[in-house]
Amino acid sequence: MDINRLKKALWSDVEHVLLDMDGTLLDRYFDDYFWEHLVPEKYAEKHNITFGRAKEELLKKYKVHEGTLNWSDIDFWSRELDLDIPALKEQIRHLIEVHPHVEDFLRELKGADKKVILATNAHYKTLKIKLRKTLIGGYFDKVITSSEIGCPKEDIEFWRRTEKILRFDREKTVFIDDVMENLEAAREFGIRYIVLKTMASSRDKEAGDNGNFLAVGDFRELLP
């Protein structure tokens, strides 16, 4: 499928549009900076070690919990690292930004009477900070979080449980995300229209591998 066929389906046949948040609607630079710079800096200060050693230790800890509910659970990380993760996020909330043309896209979807769903692995405290800063929450008919569902989007069970809640038609549903593992699970489940959002961070220089998914770098490409 090419972008023109997707656009035609999106603005005619599609009923549900499921959207990831971090890296898809919002610039992932905030999250990258937070976990790769700010947290190691505070961890290094706390343990009186170098930034380099702190980053090395943290990367090992991160790796253990990748693809699990712990990965995005900031209460878990507060306990694990003995740092106030929500407070640290608030410190740099000015870095939270919406990707270009996201609000135009959301506005058009609402105007076309689509069901617009935020489907995110983000912890509810992170979600609250980001929706308060960006004000995009008003565009969503419902917000689905992995903690509410009981498993992350990488797990096909997430999609089984989400389908029961939303009662969407797989043939008339679009899912857009910047993480290939999430898209692969959704495709395996049977959602017809799967789209990779490239350029997840404003610091990305190029789109990179699309993993055989239809890819968009800017939501302007999907506007009617």
Q: What is the DSSP letter of 171?
A: G
For 62, counting Cβ atoms within 10 Å of its Cβ (0-12 exposed, 13-18 middle, 19+ buried), the class is middle
Q: CA 140 to CA 189: how far, in whole Å?
A: 23
Return the closest-CA partner of residue 6 out of 181, 173, 217: 173
Contact between 74 and 124 under an 8 Å Cβ cutoff? The reply is: no
Q: CA 193 to CA 170: how far, in whole Å?
A: 9
Active-site position among 2, 13, 22, 32: 13
Q: CA 13 to CA 8: how far, in whole Å?
A: 8
Q: Catalytic residue at 178?
A: no
Give the residue numbers marked as catalytic. 13
